[in-house]
């Protein structure tokens, strides 16, 4: 991606998104950066003058997202790549099931992404070799305990993007899904269970950015972790449930 591609990257204020922003800016791309926290976006803009368009906002607010789309249209007239990376995670306590928690997670991970799609697609149609990228999660391969809200939101986003991929193929808009395993970021820092094979955010971002150039259908990592999840998903259902229950017992020392 060593060119002046016009990229809208969401969730650029921390974690994987902040590291992707850095890698893409080094490659010479122009970036429209979104998140609610302005300071880290501003810091990138100061370090890479002329390459950054600041489009902060709360992406769960459809009005703000439309405004962001208008600002990108005014500044650039088009987008070549959109990377829907913004996301959140909260864990379900099945003993005190909280529908509001599910609503919050789905709103950020699925609905906000759909608001972004509404603004982004007309701009991508006007872009050069358009590429739509969505960060889902390896959790969509195999259900993990307490991850019901997060997994449901990411499975929903996966379906939305995989279905859109078929619809958008006739317009030559490529769609890539990114499925990270565990990555060290503010999103995972309070996890109270082991996170096998976890990567740094920088390593994850480098991996994603290198592979994006080839526009694969999916970028899933780390490979051994993904292979294990895929293997588990192919086991008989009862065995999967037994293994899941075992994981629930050992994940935080208390049953979930
Ligand atoms: N870390 C992992 O192990 C892992 C694994 C699989 C998938 N993922 C996915 O990777 C993506 C990046 O996550 P991360 O781990 O890098 O977490 P992170 O450091 O918490 O980053 C999340 C980003 O999303 C932004 N965001 C959240 N809610 C927003 C909202 N309402 N409006 C605008 N921006 C919002 C945050 O910015 P503000 O708070 O400033 O708004 C932040 O920039 C997420 O989609 C996550 O689900 C992460």
**Residue-wise pLDDT tens digits, 110-121:** 999 999 999 999
By CB atoms closer than 10 A (0-12, 13-18, 19+), residue 234 is exposed
Residue in 68, 57, 197, 211 with CA at minimum distance from that of residue 135? 211
**Helices within the chain (DSSP H only):** 15-26, 38-47, 62-76, 99-106, 112-125, 148-169, 201-212, 223-233, 237-251
Cβ atoms 16, 185 nearer than 8 A: yes
Tell me the pTM. Answer: 0.96
**CATH number 3.90.870.10 is the correct assignment for the domain at 6-251:** no
**Mutational test site, ligand 1, from 10, 19, 35, 136, max ligand atoms within 8 Å of CB:** 35
- pLDDT at residue 250 in the model: 63
Task: State residue 1's pLDDT score.
Answer: 45
Q: How far apart are the first and last CA of the chain?
A: 44
| pLDDT at res. 255 | 36
* Strand 30-34 with 6-10, pairing: parallel
Report the nearest-CA residue for atom 42 of ligand 1.
11
Indicate which residue's Cα is closest to atom 2 of ligand 1.
183
Side-chain-side CA neighbours of residue 143 (13 Å)? 18
Name the 3-class secondary structure at 171.
coil
- pLDDT per residue, tens digit, the chain (256 aa), is 447 999 999 999 999 999 999 999 999 999 999 999 999 999 999 999 999 999 999 999 999 999 999 999 999 999 999 999 999 999 999 999 999 999 999 999 999 999 999 999 999 999 999 999 999 999 999 999 999 999 999 999 999 999 999 999 999 999 999 999 999 999 998 888 889 999 999 999 999 999 999 999 999 999 999 999 999 999 999 999 999 998 887 655 443 3
Name which of 159, 64, 150 is nearest 109 in CA terms: 150
CA 154 from chain center: how many Å? 9
Report the greatest alpha carbon distance in the chain.
Answer: 56
pLDDT of residue 199: 97
Phi, psi at residue 130, to the nearest 5°? Answer: -60, 140
Per-residue b/e over 166-196, b at no fewer than 16 CB within 10 Å? eebeeeebbbbbbbbbbbbbebeeeeebeee
Atom 28 of ligand 1, nearest CA residue: 87
Q: What's the alpha-carbon Rg for the chain, to the nearest Å?
A: 18
In testing the pocket of ligand 1, which one of 8, 9, 10, 11 has its CB within 8 Å of the most ligand atoms?
Answer: 11
Model pLDDT, residue 193: 84
pLDDT of residue 6: 98
């Amino acid at each position: 991606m060593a060119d002046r591609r016009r990229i809208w990257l969401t969730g650029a204020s921390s974690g994987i998104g902040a590291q992707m922003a850095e890698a893409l800016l080094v490659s010479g791309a122009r970036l429209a950066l979104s998140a609610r926290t302005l300071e880290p976006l501003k810091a990138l803009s100061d370090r890479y003058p002329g390459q950054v368009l600041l489009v902060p906002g709360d992406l769960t607010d459809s009005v703000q997202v439309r405004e962001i789309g208008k600002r990108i249209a005014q500044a650039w007239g088009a987008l070549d790549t959109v990377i829907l990376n913004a996301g959140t995670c909260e864990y379900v306590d099945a003993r005190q099931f909280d529908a509001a928690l599910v609503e919050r997670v789905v709103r950020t991970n699925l609905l906000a992404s759909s608001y972004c799609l509404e603004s982004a697609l007309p701009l991508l149609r006007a872009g050069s070799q358009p590429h739509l990228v969505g960060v889902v999660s390896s959790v969509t391969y195999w259900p993990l305990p307490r991850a019901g809200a997060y997994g449901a939101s990411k499975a929903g986003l996966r379906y939305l993007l995989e279905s859109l991929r078929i619809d958008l193929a006739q317009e030559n808009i490529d769609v890539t899904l990114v499925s990270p395993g565990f990555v060290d970021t503010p999103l995972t820092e309070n996890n109270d269970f082991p996170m096998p094979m976890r990567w740094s955010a920088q390593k994850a971002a480098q991996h994603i950015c290198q592979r994006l150039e080839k526009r694969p259908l999916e970028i899933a990592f780390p490979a051994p972790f993904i292979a294990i999840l895929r293997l588990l998903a192919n086991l008989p259902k009862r065995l999967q449930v037994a293994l899941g229950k075992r994981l629930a017992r050992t994940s935080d020392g208390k049953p979930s």
